Structure 1
Amino acid sequence: MPADMLADGVRSGRLNPDEYKQNFSDLHAPLDAHEALVAADRCYFCHDAPCMTACPTDIDIPLFIRQIATGTPEAAAKTILTQNILGGMCARVCPTETLCEEVCVREVAEGKPVLIGQLQRYATDTLMEKGAHPFERAPSTGKRVAVIGAGPAGLACAHRSAMLGHEVVIFDANDKPGGLNEYGIAAYKCTNDFAAREVDWLLGIGGIKVNRGVAFGRDVTLKELQGDFDAIFLGVGLGGVNGLGIDGDDKDGVSDAVDFIADLRQAKDLSALSIGRDVVVIGGGMTAVDAAVQAKLLGALNVTLVYRRSRTRMNASVFEQDLAASKGVRIITNASPVAVHGNGAVREIEFEYTDDDLKPTGQKVRLAADQVFRAIGQTLVGESLPELDGGKIKVSETGATTVKGVWAGGDCATGGDDLTVTAVAEGRDAAMDIHITLMGGA
């Protein structure tokens, strides 16, 4: 048995270097200047543009596309970044096919929308490549804001707070800031270390200090922060992962999809990552699709994604479902896991077919598996948090919690839809409410 092959058949180095490079190249090649002009020319520049209404961050989409069309992509980028400081990443990972592009007049009339996401990437990349930061800090207010979590919500809150003149300190448990953007996005959606480069660029506003390796609850508490800061923003995300709750869930080879994706994102050498021959991913959201597709791209022979309801109930968009199918992922719906079989390590996983109300039909199926990834949702973890509602921190429309001086946003708070773009909007809006509160309503 080769040294890189484990007893359960999971092994590394399934592909040659060129295959890894090809498989994990950019999902959408960036537009060049000519392609951007052609794409921008298709926009009708609607007065009451439905695409703006569909954008969680309220970007003036017709304006930035017109700016691209007139040869000023840097101005277009500032239009975007004024509303969404992580516009570069959102252009790569935002499900535009179910947001702005879905309601594009061109899509409704012709079935082919303006390439809003790719145009946004073209504009923001053009500006970032120049290295300059388009915003300046206001005069110091003398106020201090603590941001817990360096994910999209925390970064958006920190940037807007710093721009308004406050001193900001970010506390994050990881070695790298970025949160989901750094650790939880499929590698083929975010190439060339873009997440880290975007964070470095964002911090160029000044006035933001990042404390890495500091875990909320373990190394710093809400009470301690309340004594040192004028306002606190919680963007802690969802640190817990739901278990399957079935016999054999603890067998070797069964693990969380989020850990698999994080390991892949941080890997310096993809050929060193071990992947099974027969991989099963359980779940129906973006994390499940990302894990399934990347397992296939790493060289797994058979990859099956199993979801307990129908395809129309999957959280992953139709585009993502089709992407998975195009990469060779088999999708099975209306099937719930009931047991993991194997002597120490997983060999098979058993499912029972259900209807869309999860009522068992009595029919069962076993799938061969030497690796199983759980992607059935994440949960909020932590102690001494503000009041919760449905397992998340209860917040107002502007992100204020039930604790005075504490705001929250992103996946850990109520009202979101677990999208990067929504987290950015919540962090930005919370920063504005924090500013108004600290400045006495001015």
Structure 2
Amino acid sequence: MRATEQRHAVGPGVGEGRRGFVPAVLTVPGYGRLWRAGLLYYHAYWFEIVVTGWTVLLLTGSPFAVGLVGFCRTLPMLALGLVLGALADRVREATLLLAVQVAGLLAAGTLALLFVLERTGLGPICLLVGLLGCGWACDFSARRALVARFHGPERVASALALETMMMLGGKVAATALGGALLALGGPRLAYGWLALIYGAGGLAALAVRRLEPPAGRAPAAAIPIIALVRLGWSTAVRTPVVRAVLLVTVVMNVLVFPYQQLMAVIAREILAVGSARMGVLAGADGLGALVVAGFLTARSRPVRQGLLFLAGAAGLGALLLALALSRSFPLSLGVQIAVGAGGAAFGAMQSALVLGAVEVELRARAMGMVAMAIGMAPFGILLAGAFSAAVGPATTLAGMATLALALLAAIVVRNPVLLAAPDDGR
């Protein structure tokens, strides 16, 4: 670890003497502000997905159109993930997070104005959602690299578990509120609220910049972006753990996670419920995520990161199959809660495995590779939307879940390194 990082890293005992349940990772100077800024950003992220999905479904009546918007939202992860990861090695991460909030404010404000003027259509929605997707791709690499700089190696897994808890736990309120505001005032009110949240997030990002730990990356600043991209790619493909994580990530984002972008279709076409109950269903997985991520954050014993990562992935595939077969709203709600538990384990260990397998100066670029793997999701979303329109969403999701489970088994057989991945040293 570099000297500049050592001054800001926290050891196992820091903060444990505080009264009440305060995770030690939150006692690191400056990290609490980053965490609170993340609460606002993730609220906006999930809120927009639910609001836009329902709005597009009502405007067009087409599951494929909902999938097309999801494609535009996630495509920047594939197209720009590694480039933005390399950029995060040259520009202050907190500056990038601020830029993401400003772009979100502009996009959300424009969407609200278009609906007020009744000048909206599928094209403008796709364009502005694509801008939000660029922000998500940038935030993914920059935020996780910054988390790793705030904490020492022994606390990175716990900090990332807390990030996962924040991201998925905040989904509960964000999606429920999105459904409620749609029912109350339609897209104009919903996108107005989204713009307000992005504005507050921008102010929070400004506060993070003042306490961002020094990066010590002067040498990287002299290296051309294309060289940084090539180095990140070569490091990822040569590192067995990173390579295996990327393969699993591609499968999950092509065949499992696209269902999140189609929650409006599931609610309306499979369960026959309205926008308010759709919002509750979409956010129910946050409850399960809170439990598992809370355990991972507060635990005192080490965990086998690779095994937990694979268990989360396989569990998500099986639960998607159950969600596709369910016709009961209460049963689907229970499945969604269990999905959150699997997603928390998968998400926290995904980043922890990659960050622990590469050198400090390559972290942002390695996370850029993960962002590119996540960026394969647009093809899965288009596939899910097209097949949902042709054979129905239930059959489509069941088929995708079954294929995902088969491919995960094949990856484990060919890449046993994940099963042998060490614990986090706690």
TM-score (norm 1): 0.25
Larger Rg: 1
